[in-house]
Structure 1
Amino acid sequence: MEKCIVKKALNNNVLIAEHELYNEVVLIGKGIGFNRKAGDLLEPSLVEKMFILKDKREQEQYKQLLPQMDEAIFDTIVEAFEIIQKRTQSMLNEHIHVSLTDHLLFSVHRFMKGMSIKNPFLMETKTLYPMEFEVAQEVVDIVNQSLHINLPIDEVGFITLHIHSALTDKELSEVNRHSKLVSELIDIIEQELHLQIDKESIDYMRLIRHLRFAIERVKRGEMLGENPKIALLLQMEYPICYNLSWKLIKIMQNTLKRPVDNAEAVYLTMHLQRIQNKG
């Protein structure tokens, strides 16, 4: 391992160091911070894990979070990151070290106080990001087992968004907005078609995934290519679903502040017709 010089010990097991390749890094290891002073040269064998936090603001946020954690919580959160990295086989965006640490710390403290937050987008999140949801479930299981608590399933949904944000290098706020938009569109579909969609059905999964990819196409400015004959046929055959598809498109345009390709109405109408037939 390259040379590291101690800048500041944050506790017995964590310190900030100057790394010859990565500049400032967070180093973790049993007893690594004990009796360390600024300027000490660090023995590489003591380092178990290293986080690179290039953003100065995030470095400061992480330093502020550490004193709020006892050793059990800290070890559990480090284990959670190991699981995410191992299961996704990806180099995680550095933001997740701050944002997910903060979220898990807050969730554990909230649970201890008997408070819970419902996740209104849970089913949509599970369907939108199935791989990330599976990993998040494992993270919650580890936290619950290690700390002898019982975080609810709602937390799996919140953690899923953190993982997806890190894997796609998207801001968490953007991932949240897209998840909220999909949930809002589903609510409108149920209201307009006067039905309750079966959230376990294949048609629901297809609709959710179509909405997700439609949002991504809009963000990228991609066009599907319009077929006026099919559009006219659907408008005549399925006027309720066709008109509803345009209502959804208008909401997408207003929320994303981007134009939506007219061809999206064709595909949405077909998805809506399937849902209506099963309703």
Structure 2
Amino acid sequence: MKIEKVLNNNVVMCRNEHDQEIVAMGKGLAFQRKSGDEIDVSKIEKTFVLQNHDIVEKLAKLLEDTSEFYLSISSKVLEYAKTQLPNKLDDFLYVALTDHLSFAISRHKQGIQFKNALLWEIRKYYKKEFQVALKALDIIEQETGIRLDENEAASIALHLVNGQLSGDDMASTVQITKMVNDILNIVKYHFKMELDETSLNYERFLTHLRFFGMRYMRNETSFDSIDDFFHGQIKLKYSEAYMCTQKVATYLKNELGWEISKEEEIYLTVHIHRVTNRHLLNQKVK
């Protein structure tokens, strides 16, 4: 197996027997080696496959100033995350998470701690990612002896959320999280109720809102494929939920300049009805 690119003394890029581009790590793996040299496979301690060549270039740039030790930690975190999360993770996470962990641990050593303003929302709306991030704190502690707090878990979780959006940047992820939180608050205030966060309907609503936000960030227009009669029937059948949807639509237009389609109105109305209906039925029984 030949070296295609030396990233640093301990990390190289090469190709495996399936002609896949891989990053190989090992102490002294690339010492006094150059592109085209045969790799000493006995020194390889860890490998991972990268689908995007541009990621390798970015990783090489990062490793000019950052120890591959943090890449090793990141790869362990991502290996675990891949077994727990439903969507494929973007390879760029190897770069983003390595960079983040290096900075976070450096800050910790200097006694500098940041509060994550979205901790509460992330823990609440991205439960799977947050649980993986808590496990990441365990992995980091095992490797470094340093225990980072939940604020860092929230930041790691955001990277994992972002990594499942395939190409959207962190600012987009933060904006989507805020959008989800604002819409849920509109629903709560309109119906004057707390939502059952353990219900399947709540999980479905959250999922819809996340992808709803993703479509906005990517400028993916939803074309109306539902006729006016069906729209009118939904509006009549779920009148209270539709009124709430109109408040959401006003918020989106005023805050983001986004005018949603009738099709989106229907989806939102149905989800809002489902997530609030059981509570309203219980109130009537009382």
- Pair in the same fold by TM > 0.5: yes
CA contact (8 A) 2:58 2:95 kept: yes
Structure 2: runs of 5 or more not aligned: none
Partner of 1:10: 8
Structure 1 counterpart SS, 2:63:
helix
CA contact (8 A) 1:26 1:53 kept: no
Partner of 1:113: 110
Tell me the amino acid that sits aligned with residue 14 of structure 1.
V
Partner of 1:228: 232
User: Are the structure 2 counterparts of residues 215 and 74 from structure 1 closer, same or farther at C-alpha, using a change threshold of 3 Å?
Assistant: closer
Structure 2 counterpart SS, 1:31:
coil
Structure 1: runs of 5 or more not aligned: none
CA contact (8 A) 1:69 1:105 kept: yes
Structure 1: distance between partners of 2:71 and 2:86: 22
Q: What TM-score does the superposition give when structure 1 sets the normalisation length? A: 0.73
Structure 2 counterpart SS, 1:263:
helix
Does 1:182 find its partner at 2:171?
Answer: no
Does 1:64 find its partner at 2:67?
Answer: no
User: Are the structure 2 counterparts of residues 243 and 112 from structure 1 closer, same or farther at C-alpha, using a change threshold of 3 Å?
Assistant: farther
Structure 2: distance between partners of 1:72 and 1:30: 10
CA contact (8 A) 2:179 2:213 kept: no
Q: What TM-score does the superposition give when structure 2 sets the normalisation length? A: 0.72
Partner of 1:267: 270
Paired residues for 1:45-194 under 5 Å: 45-47=42-44, 48-52=46-50, 54-56=52-54, 58-70=55-67, 72-88=69-85, 92-173=89-170, 174-189=172-187
Deviation at residue 28 of structure 1 after TM alignment: 0.9
Deviation at residue 183 of structure 1 after TM alignment: 1.8
Structure 2: distance between partners of 1:59 and 1:80: 19
Tell me the percent identity.
24
User: Are the structure 2 counterparts of residues 267 and 213 from structure 1 closer, same or farther at C-alpha, using a change threshold of 3 Å?
Assistant: farther
CA contact (8 A) 2:180 2:210 kept: yes
CA contact (8 A) 1:124 1:179 kept: yes
Structure 1 counterpart SS, 2:3:
strand
User: Are the structure 2 counterparts of residues 222 and 128 from structure 1 closer, same or farther at C-alpha, using a change threshold of 3 Å?
Assistant: farther
- How many residue pairs align between the two structures? 269
Structure 2: distance between partners of 1:113 and 1:191: 43
User: Are the structure 2 counterparts of residues 86 and 201 from structure 1 closer, same or farther at C-alpha, using a change threshold of 3 Å?
Assistant: closer
Deviation at residue 49 of structure 1 after TM alignment: 0.6
